[in-house]
A and B are shown apart, each in its own frame.
Chain A
């Protein structure tokens, strides 16, 4: 367990994904199969039943160490994380950590999850004393249902594939079925013998690049323009009468989109299509949040199917009747796509081509992207092949300009656990009649000179401090950009601001230059 926890702790502070992957690989290379099986199970997002809360664990920690609560709180204030604080206090620092992950899961966490509070407390205090700090941290996270890692499913698959000498898609395919955390399952997962039904795999997803302004000097007729859909990129595979949906992010998704699978069943030919999954109702796309709600639930209920139906919007075809057609020019593939999809069910659509005679007209169209739940326009060269991943070339993503408003700083805070950091958690307000109301919170991306300015401002103009939040005199003006607005009953102003961020400090303006809430309402209505 020590090796597993140490790997997680290392990965949690690495930023380079290559380095993270090699740490994961390093772990699996050295781990014994029964341990590795549980590691795969946990890293695939499986969860045990929640035992208790962090505050209860805190109490158990105080009971076993006899430390006063004030001293615990003082420590927590510095560390900034409750699970970590407990781990640092009770974790062993010697080489006593001999607990196996398998033993922890099979002999403690699963059998005793229904036990009485008293029994649980005894077991956990005993277990704590046999673990080092990293492992206590992992245990605390597992117990409280807050176990999360920075290892994505696709990184896990890549790492396992490399360790086992397998194709990444084979590992993905095998992991997409229910994985039982046993030695046998792990050995099967890593088995070099490939089965026939593992052959229906996606191609690498081609990625667009941010728009290069030079493109606007070329002939617009060379380009095919489409909406840059704000959905889930996926490949739809129809192979020997079976349908597979591979998401770029999540890998193979089984039984998540029955309506798309049904529509694809009736295709007459085998093929692989590239496109996006969108929530779609009454002939119109629904916002991304609808799709997220649909995906976040573990099983697809009838209610969910009715409330958030989905479609597959195809924009390319990569294989026809078993043969790779990626080297054919886009206009050829597009024709073929139209043909083949003419015969599918209602829940597969073709991404429409946006016609415009010049760049100016297209740019105007681009600014309406949000009305179509899109982030902008994608331009694809009509005579281009479908390129391999990471090659810069014929696809350009032309994003809609963000919305901007002028807003007033209302509250500032430091990130929790970083007492010597800058005030980077900033909340901004807009006018509503004669009152400033908060509308968005953003993390500062200012440079260190501007941050110092904000720090000084906050120190000087704080009128009240509640917990970590400093209320300041409304004086300091910022330009704020955001991607979109969504109606929301959870927010005071009746809408959620999507991806708000600071553009710049406007110390040339005073508060009467700040915008009114009215402006947001207007943007929301236009959609």
Chain B
């Protein structure tokens, strides 16, 4: 057990720029530009532009360059390997959220903190699976931190998606599947049955597909022919295309969302698409509790999501937990996930 000086500041703490390591003089997923930023993954609420130097997991590099610019000053680290920065040991471990997503392990004088970033515990063909990292302090996300969120087996969900596509293709319809362009789109693509029909995406998704393929992730061939999609095709586009001219122009279509929020009937109705598939890249309730158990920390800091309920519940079950408030807390967790 490390001896922590009660008078010295915690190893990581929030300041006006983000989650800061004072002894190491670096930030994790800062929301302003800083000198040295360790980035958990490429989603826009975690990776912000204009920092002077970045560190990320190796498979995340090309994604960050697409998102933050080609010429960023970027250092990469294979999963499990470590560097020492101003005397603080930093290593990155798979988070299973999207390609290249990492948990950040920080060690100083024997005290270990782990920042999970976004993560999920279910298997995903497009990224390395989550690895629990034992620590003294765990900083966990809580996007789906309520006991009503329990994910169905993703294999079943992918089967349902293919069945939905197949059924509508036979009816001569075009299927439009709404998914975030980074992560969710590729996860869906990797499991589509390309025998059913042609698959299209929008340019933003195609650009990220290239980064995935460069890392050896298998994705099906896309139909890049110009002109309108044929009946029987499947289109994957970002949620922002909903109710736009795009969906209207494909008038014989059927739409679906793939997201954890689809577990709630009310949310499906609000989304106004024809189908909702429960498929999330975040941990569900059991996944969150499992992670706390696996990492066996002395203290848990909760961020990003249903912070208050998870903190209160952990404390009631004998785990010391606190809220770690970030600017993303003010927004509703639902809006926030949709921004990713």
Find chain B residues with CB under 8 A from A84 CB.
264-265
B147 x A71 contact (CB < 8 A): yes
Find chain B residues with CB under 8 A from A420 CB.
332, 334-335
Q: Say which one of A87-95, A225-233, A324-332 lies at the interface with B.
A: A87-95
Whether a CB of chain A sits under 8 angstroms from the CB of B195 is no
Complex alpha-carbon distance, A12 and B171, angstroms: 21
Interface residues on A, range: 20 to 34
B268 x A13 contact (CB < 8 A): yes
A78 x B146 contact (CB < 8 A): yes
Complex alpha-carbon distance, A10 and B334, angstroms: 23
A79 x B148 contact (CB < 8 A): yes
Find chain A residues with CB under 8 A from B276 CB.
13
Complex alpha-carbon distance, A242 and B260, angstroms: 57
Nearest 10 CB-CB pairings of A with B: A88-B148, A417-B266, A75-B148, A93-B152, A75-B146, A80-B266, A89-B147, A93-B150, A74-B309, A13-B268
A13 x B265 contact (CB < 8 A): yes
Within 8 A of A (CB), among B148-197: 148-153, 156
Complex alpha-carbon distance, A373 and B134, angstroms: 75
Complex alpha-carbon distance, A490 and B148, angstroms: 38
B interface, CB within 8 angstroms of A: 146-153, 156, 263-266, 268-270, 274-276, 306, 309, 312-313, 316, 332, 334-335
Find chain A residues with CB under 8 A from B150 CB.
88-89, 91, 93, 133
Whether a CB of chain B sits under 8 angstroms from the CB of A418 is yes
Shortest distance in angstroms between B152's beta carbon and chain A's nearest beta carbon?
5
Shortest distance in angstroms between A353's beta carbon and chain B's nearest beta carbon?
45
Whether a CB of chain B sits under 8 angstroms from the CB of A199 is no
Find chain B residues with CB under 8 A from A91 CB.
150
Complex alpha-carbon distance, A68 and B306, angstroms: 16
Within 8 A of B (CB), among A18-43: 19
Find chain B residues with CB under 8 A from A254 CB.
none
A418 x B270 contact (CB < 8 A): yes
B266 x A94 contact (CB < 8 A): no
Complex alpha-carbon distance, A133 and B264, angstroms: 11
A421 x B270 contact (CB < 8 A): yes
Contact of B146 among A14, A71, A418, A421 (CB under 8 A): A71
* A52-92 interface code vs B (CB 8 A; 1 in, 0 out): 00000000000001011011101100111100110011010
Q: What are 20 A-B contacts with C-beta separation under 8 Å?
A: A10-B275, A13-B269, A19-B274, A67-B147, A68-B316, A74-B146, A74-B309, A78-B146, A78-B148, A78-B264, A84-B265, A85-B148, A88-B148, A89-B150, A91-B150, A93-B153, A95-B153, A95-B156, A418-B270, A421-B270
Find chain B residues with CB under 8 A from A421 CB.
270
Find chain B residues with CB under 8 A from A9 CB.
265
Residue in chain A with minimal CB distance to B164: A10
Contact of B147 among A65, A93, A417, A418 (CB under 8 A): A65
Shortest distance in angstroms between A77's beta carbon and chain B's nearest beta carbon?
10
Find chain B residues with CB under 8 A from A465 CB.
none
Whether a CB of chain B sits under 8 angstroms from the CB of A527 is no
Shortest distance in angstroms between B268's beta carbon and chain A's nearest beta carbon?
5
Contact of A68 among B275, B313, B334, B335 (CB under 8 A): B313
Known: A75-B146, A420-B335. A93 touches B151 (CB 8 A): yes
Whether a CB of chain B sits under 8 angstroms from the CB of A491 is no
Find chain B residues with CB under 8 A from A71 CB.
146-147, 309, 312-313
Most buried by B among A13, A79, A91: A13
Shortest distance in angstroms between B178's beta carbon and chain A's nearest beta carbon?
15
Known: A78-B264, A418-B270, A420-B332. A88 touches B149 (CB 8 A): yes
Whether a CB of chain B sits under 8 angstroms from the CB of A419 is yes
B334 x A79 contact (CB < 8 A): no
Find chain B residues with CB under 8 A from A418 CB.
266, 270
Complex alpha-carbon distance, A88 and B285, angstroms: 11
Complex alpha-carbon distance, A14 and B164, angstroms: 14
Shortest distance in angstroms between A12's beta carbon and chain B's nearest beta carbon?
7
Find chain A residues with CB under 8 A from B335 CB.
420
Shortest distance in angstroms between B317's beta carbon and chain A's nearest beta carbon?
9
In addition to A9-B265, A93-B153, 7 A-B residue pairs with Cβ atoms within 8 Å of each other are: A80-B264, A88-B149, A88-B150, A88-B264, A89-B147, A89-B150, A420-B334
Find chain A residues with CB under 8 A from B147 CB.
65, 67, 71-72, 75, 88-89
Shortest distance in angstroms between A13's beta carbon and chain B's nearest beta carbon?
5
Find chain B residues with CB under 8 A from A419 CB.
332
Find chain B residues with CB under 8 A from A93 CB.
150-153
Shortest distance in angstroms between A25's beta carbon and chain B's nearest beta carbon?
12
Find chain B residues with CB under 8 A from A417 CB.
264, 266
Complex alpha-carbon distance, A67 and B317, angstroms: 10
Complex alpha-carbon distance, A135 and B276, angstroms: 17
A94 x B264 contact (CB < 8 A): no
Find chain B residues with CB under 8 A from A75 CB.
146-148
Find chain A residues with CB under 8 A from B274 CB.
14, 19
Find chain A residues with CB under 8 A from B149 CB.
88
Complex alpha-carbon distance, A80 and B266, angstroms: 7
Find chain B residues with CB under 8 A from A74 CB.
146, 306, 309
Shortest distance in angstroms between A500's beta carbon and chain B's nearest beta carbon?
23
Complex alpha-carbon distance, A21 and B2, angstroms: 65
Shortest distance in angstroms between B157's beta carbon and chain A's nearest beta carbon?
10
B266 x A81 contact (CB < 8 A): yes
A79 x B151 contact (CB < 8 A): no
Complex alpha-carbon distance, A302 and B170, angstroms: 55
Find chain B residues with CB under 8 A from A65 CB.
147
Residue in chain A with minimal CB distance to B309: A74
Find chain A residues with CB under 8 A from B312 CB.
70-71
Complex alpha-carbon distance, A131 and B269, angstroms: 24
